[in-house]
Amino acid sequence: PERLSIKHELYATIEPAITPEAIVATSASGLTLSEMQAGWKDPSRFVLGHPFNPPHLIPLVEVMGNERTGHGVIEIVERFYANAGKVTIRVNREVPGHVANRLQAAVWREAIHLVKTGVASVEDVDKAMWAGPGLRWAAMGPTMLFHLGAGEGGLAAFCERYTDSFNRWWDDLGVLHLEPELAKQLVSGIAKAADGQTPADLSAHRDGLITAMLKAIAPLRAN
Amino acid sequence: PERLSIKHELYATIEPAITPEAIVATSASGLTLSEMQAGWKDPSRFVLGHPFNPPHLIPLVEVMGNERTGHGVIEIVERFYANAGKVTIRVNREVPGHVANRLQAAVWREAIHLVKTGVASVEDVDKAMWAGPGLRWAAMGPTMLFHLGAGEGGLAAFCERYTDSFNRWWDDLGVLHLEPELAKQLVSGIAKAADGQTPADLSAHRDGLITAMLKAIAPLRAN
């Protein structure tokens, strides 16, 4: 579990047993690298390598070192993941959730807000995602997509045209905490959406969809 | 353009020219249905049908009527879009941006915040999306994915386990407006990511990726 005392104990056992060249990467998303470094005599080869669920399919690994990280260590880690067919990004500063979990948290907050305020059902908010922006985001990230949204004028034209809309939407987005009542509303919405399928059935369906998409786009990504 | 006076003028020309059974759907995302209904003598067959960009590829159409909408009209509209191969969701309440644009606005705000605060480059935040959560969201929406994230325990177990993490992330997410300085930072990040490719090149690449994914998952969606 993501408890610092357990991690520090573990590192005290690991460190004497590994060769000096070994690099150790942690996948913890709830603890910071600097907190965990305190468990090491020499933290110069202890870094963040955070995959994304389901890790057997999703290519992303978030990589981070800091001022205590040894020279060239991050580059070795990036080559290691690239050789394993992963796609890495560089996290330059310690923040809760790194990058991908924060994007995900931002989306889920608004998804919940829309359900909570009666704008749409759990099932329809989810459907809006997979039939809508989700498909685009599997191709490209949000800023590049907006760069393409304004044609030849690119992102500069897009920002000029839509600044007022985004500022208005941002001011109107929901702010909330996940309370037990809200969790119940979501659980009941998901029960309806699942329509009798077990999490295992649905996970297999998810993995099938992701695998099919990954295979289909692999030749296009390689170009 | 999304200006109410122009819309009202247009509707005054359209209404006398159409048969009484005709349904008119607006795709405006910046104006509300009730504002636009004011342009109609009989607004009972004037509804929202909001597609998502690029509309020639993305299946989603957000459909909304309100208390002035005629009985059964929304159902006809949904059948029309389904016959055209689209996927509809029902928006039950008028909010700026409907559903998909709000999810998108929530993501983009945090994406910009991560760039602004030096956590990652524009290119890497975009990469975190397409290599990470974007792939999952092309398969299923965020709440269903979390339902599967906790195994057999489902969403109830997920909420229990991660309530503290999400509440902490939500409290830490960025709040901002799109100012000219920030737009400049994004434009320069996208120029680097585009690496000489024109918006037209990149749009063709985007459409190729989306088309390949849609073809690959079509047999799985039909089940």
Q: Do B4-90 and B100-222 have matching folds? A: no
CB contact under 8 A, A213 and B96: no
CB contact under 8 A, A159 and B183: yes
Give percent above pLDDT 70 in chain A.
100
Which residues in chain B have Cβ-Cβ distances shorter than 8 Å to A130?
A: 137-141
> Who among B119, B168, B194 is closest to A99 (CB)?
B119
B27 in contact with chain A, both atoms CB, cutoff 8 A: no
- Average pLDDT in chain A: 96
- List pLDDT tens digits, range A19-72: 999 999 999 888 899 999 999 999 999 999 999 999 999 999 999 999 999 999
A&B contacts, CB < 8 Å = 400
* ipTM of predicted assembly, 2 dp: 0.96
- Band (pLDDT 50/70/90 cuts) for residue B2 is confident
List, as ranges, residues 169-208 from A with C-beta within 8 Å of B.
169-170, 172-173, 175-178, 183, 186-187, 189-190, 193-194, 198-200, 202-203, 205-206, 208
A119 in contact with chain B, both atoms CB, cutoff 8 A: yes
What class is the A4-90 domain? Answer: alpha beta
Looking at residue B106, its pLDDT comes to 98
A165-181 b/e (C-beta count within 10 Å ≥ 16 → b): bbbebbeebbeeebeee
What does residue B23 show for φ and ψ, rounded to 5 degrees? Answer: -110, 135
Is the confidence at residue B223, as pLDDT, over 70? no
Gap between the Cα atoms of B116 and B120, Å rounded: 9
Any idea where the domains of chain B sit in the sequence? Answer: 4-90, 100-222
> Who among B99, B145, B163 is closest to A120 (CB)?
B99
Please give the residue of chain A at the shortest CA–CA distance from B140.
Answer: A130
Is the confidence at residue B156, as pLDDT, over 80? yes
Looking at residue B76, its pLDDT comes to 98
What class is the B100-222 domain? Answer: mainly alpha
Looking at residue A122, its pLDDT comes to 98
Q: Could you tell me the fold of the domain covering A100-139+177-222?
A: N-(1-d-carboxylethyl)-l-norvaline Dehydrogenase; domain 2 (1.10.1040)
CB contact under 8 A, B155 and A106: no
**How far out from the chain centre does Cα B21 lie?**
29
What contacts 24+ positions apart, CB below 8 Å, involve A195-204?
A: A198/B152, A199/B147, A199/B148, A199/B150, A199/B151, A199/B152, A199/B154, A200/B152, A202/B140, A202/B144, A202/B147, A202/B148, A203/A54, A203/B148
- List pLDDT tens digits, range A79-108: 999 999 999 999 999 999 999 999 999 999
Is the confidence at residue B194, as pLDDT, over 60? yes
Please give the residue of chain A at the shortest CA–CA distance from B159.
Answer: A183
Over residues A11-25, the mean pLDDT reads 96
- List pLDDT tens digits, range A107-138: 999 999 999 999 999 999 999 999 999 999 99
Shortest CA gap B165–chain A (Å) = 7
B55 in contact with chain A, both atoms CB, cutoff 8 A: no
What does residue B20 show for φ and ψ, rounded to 5 degrees? Answer: -65, -25
Looking at residue A223, its pLDDT comes to 55
